[in-house]
Amino acid sequence: MTYATDRLHEEIAYVAYHFHWPLDDILDLEHDDRRRYTGHIASLVTRGGAEG
């Protein structure tokens, strides 16, 4: 089973935009780790929006 290319690109863009990590570092992440980071980012964004 392969991961959808569009979804992979969305996750990469999301992490790169919020954490300013280079592409190679993001691509080196395991799938589960990358998903975990996108979840953490979403929580930070949601929390930040509620505080603002």
Q: pLDDT tens for residues 26-41?
A: 999 999 999 999 999 9
pLDDT of residue 50: 74
Per-residue pLDDT band at 16 (split at 50, 70, 90): very high
SS3 sequence of the chain: CCCCHHHHHHHHHHHHHHHCCCHHHHHCCCHHHHHHHHHHHHHHHHHHHHHC
pLDDT of residue 40: 95
Domains contained in the chain, number: 1
For residue 48, is it within any domain? Answer: no
- pTM reported for the whole predicted model: 0.78
Domain that holds residue 31: 5-42
Q: What percent of the chain has pLDDT over 90?
A: 77
pLDDT of residue 36: 96
For residue 47, is it within any domain? Answer: no
